């Protein structure tokens, strides 16, 4: 494809582009959902294949070699234009886009509303499993979009950093315990990721004005370096994409997230 696609791709835009050379739709839905019906030509990718786990810490970044293998196997090369979708709100698709950002892969988009919007609007579907010839992806991991536990510890008192916890309020308060300890990282504010979705528009992201009206009163403003996290940087990946689409210049994801922070007895917490 010769054109640069927007970071947030509307279903009607994608429908017009299906079949274009060098366009790859990556469906990260449950395999059973993909096999039942998917966007024509879309390939399936399990989200677990782009994660590394060291229990109890989950959701870490795999090696560049592993990512090369996974992305090449679905037919990707470094110049492929990727549109990612899933059937659960955009967390899995967002995690792929964040990973591609780590790799410096600029030709990537999120399908707004994912398969929920696509199906609800009676757009074309296929049950034929798509296959692509292997690609030759060359992976070079950067760090601009990633923050580590140590870096985060050293930045907790930085007034230029804003911490956004995208888990549920119960997790944030430590009432829903999913690690050895409950609570949140000191200084974080809470905005559950599902609040970014508009059920009246088939789970698309809410309009820009509504998103800003939720974020800015919390101190999540474009002049800050924003760090997003959840339990494994799954839910927070969608929020990362939304912030990038809003033009926030500095957004980072904490990959280990609460599965790392909450299981480390030496990290400070608030409840």
Can you tell me the distance from the alpha carbon of 114 to that of 11, in angstroms, rounded to the nearest whole number?
8
State residue 193's pLDDT score: 98
**Domain 8-120 falls under CATH 3.40.250.10:** yes
CATH of 149-261, one of 3.90.550.10, 3.40.50.300, 3.40.250.10, 3.30.9.10: 3.40.250.10
Residue 194's pLDDT is 98
Q: What is the pLDDT of residue 1?
A: 66
Q: What is the pLDDT of residues 206-249, one digit of tens each?
A: 999 999 999 999 999 999 999 999 999 999 999 999 999 999 99
> What is the per-residue pLDDT for 55?
94
Q: Following DSSP, what letter does each residue of 236-260 receive, concatenated?
A: HHHHHHHHHHTT-S-EEE-SSHHHH
Catalytic residues: 230
pTM of this prediction? 0.97
The pLDDT of residue 132 is 85
- What local confidence, expressed as pLDDT, does residue 255 receive? 97
Any bridge partners for residue 228, and if so which? 164, 253
For the chain, the domains span: 8-120, 149-261
Examine domains 8-120 and 149-261 and report if their fold is the same. yes
Question: Please, which contacts does 241-244 make with residues 24 or more away whose CB atoms are closer than 8 Å?
Answer: 241/7, 241/8, 241/90, 241/94, 241/97, 241/98, 241/110, 242/196, 242/205, 242/211, 243/215, 244/7, 244/101
Residues of the chain with pLDDT under 50: none
């Amino acid at each position: 494809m010769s054109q640069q696609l927007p970071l947030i791709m509307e279903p009607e835009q994608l429908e017009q582009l299906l079949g274009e050379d060098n366009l790859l739709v990556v469906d990260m839905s449950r395999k059973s959902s993909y096999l039942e019906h998917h966007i024509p030509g879309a390939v399936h990718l399990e989200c677990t294949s782009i994660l590394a786990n060291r229990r109890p810490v989950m959701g870490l970044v795999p090696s560049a070699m592993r990512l090369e293998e996974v992305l090449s196997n679905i037919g990707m090369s470094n110049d492929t234009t990727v549109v990612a979708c899933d059937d659960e709100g955009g967390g899995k698709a967002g995690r792929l886009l964040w990973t591609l950002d780590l790799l410096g892969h600029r030709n990537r988009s999120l399908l707004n509303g994912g398969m929920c919007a696509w199906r609800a609007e009676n757009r074309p579907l296929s049950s034929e499993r798509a296959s692509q010839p292997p690609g030759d992806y060359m992976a070079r991991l950067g760090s601009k979009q990633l923050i580590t536990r140590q870096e985060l510890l050293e930045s907790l008192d930085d007034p230029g950093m804003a911490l956004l916890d995208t888990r549920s309020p119960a997790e944030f308060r430590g009432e829903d315990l999913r690690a050895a300890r409950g609570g949140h990282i000191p200084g974080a504010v809470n905005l559950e990721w599902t609040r970014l979705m508009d059920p009246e528009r088939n789970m698309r992201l809410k309009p820009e004005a509504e998103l800003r009206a939720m974020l800015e009163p919390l101190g999540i403003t474009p002049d800050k370096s924003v760090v997003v996290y959840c339990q494994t940087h799954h839910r927070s990946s969608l929020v990362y994409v939304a912030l990038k689409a809003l033009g926030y210049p500095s957004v980072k994801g904490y990959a280990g997230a609460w599965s790392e922070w909450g299981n480390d007895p030496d990290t400070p917490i608030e409840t």
